[in-house]
Amino acid sequence: MATRPMRIRAQNKDGVTEVRVLMSHIMETGLRKDADGNVIPAHFIKEVVATWNDKEVLSAQWGPAVSRDPFLSFKFKGGEAGDEVKVTWIDDTGATRTDTTKIR
Amino acid sequence: MNHQRRSVLKLGTALGLAVSAGFLTPMQAWAVQQQWNEKAFGATDVDSVVASLGGEGAVESDQITLIAPDIAENGAVVPVGVNSALPNTTEIAILVPDNPSTLTALFKIPEGSLPEVATRIKMGQTSDVYGLVKADGKYYMVHKEVKVTLGGCGG
């Protein structure tokens, strides 16, 4: 199944790069029931890793209470316009997605 | 085309699709499952979360800024940010004790990154929201009540 791309913006200002990511994922808690009363199974991003020129700048473990279509924002020192920032997510089924952007 | 060439091409395509579809190998997927802190995400109160992260309790600190609304319009999407002014902050976590699982998200802050993160979380009902920080090996926290009118866990 194809996963939808993340939208990533990385902006450097005064020596600090701010990264804002919008991911596409249902983040199902496993607590909801469908119309027939069956539990909809949990399905959520468990791990997130972000790198800047291959140096890790953030990692995270998430539970299902992160909102659907997760938003994430973080900052790191350094970063020049044109440098690559990569964000990877891995969900509970082992599905994974990596998207890349260049710092502005 | 002979049958052998056809089967080789078919297998190659299937493997190629699996790789490009972005599925981890079973070994990698297993490694991710092992790293994910099941105990911490299964805890149902703040002290248990801190204990399962290896801490011995969390001290309240005015060096942590928790950015969260007083009233959440929509419990499915509550914006929460945590900024730490504590030196050597290495971890930031968001906890919601009145959610089915207290630990919502855990962030590791490597050297060179700022101890500031923001995301959006689900809240099932009005609850205290905690910003938990690990700095110099010790845990600190700050909290505020976020009122929720429309619960966000669904169902």
For B92, which residue in chain A has the nearest alpha carbon?
A: A60
Q: Is B109 at the interface with chain A, CB within 8 A?
A: yes
For residue B142, which of B81, B35, B63 has the smallest C-alpha distance? B63
Per domain, the residue ranges of chain A are: 7-30+41-102
Q: What is the pLDDT of residue B24?
A: 61
Q: Check: CB of residue A94 under 8 Å from CB of residue B32.
A: yes
Q: Is B106 at the interface with chain A, CB within 8 A?
A: yes
> Which residues in chain A have their CB less than 8 angstroms from residue B118's CB?
71-74
- Shortest Cα distance, chain B CAs vs residue A40, angstroms: 10
Amino acid in the structure at residue A33:
K
pLDDT in tens, B68-107: 999 998 999 999 999 999 999 999 999 999 999 999 999 9
User: Are B29 and A29 inside 8 Å of each other by CB?
Assistant: no
Predicted structure pTM score: 0.87
**Interface predicted TM-score of the whole assembly (ipTM), two decimals:** 0.96
Structurally, what CATH architecture does the domain formed by B39-148 represent?
Sandwich (2.60)
- Could you list the pLDDT tens digit for every one of the 104 residues in chain A? 578 999 999 999 999 999 999 999 999 999 999 999 999 999 999 999 999 998 999 999 999 999 999 999 999 999 999 999 999 999 999 999 999 999 99
Q: Which CATH number applies to A7-30+41-102: 2.60.40.10, 1.10.10.60, 3.40.1710.10, 3.40.190.10?
A: 2.60.40.10
pLDDT under 70 in chain B at which residues?
1-34, 151-155
Using CA atoms, how far residue B140 sits from A70, A97, B9, B94, B149, in Å, is 26, 33, 58, 12, 29
pLDDT in tens, A20-38: 999 999 999 999 999 999 9
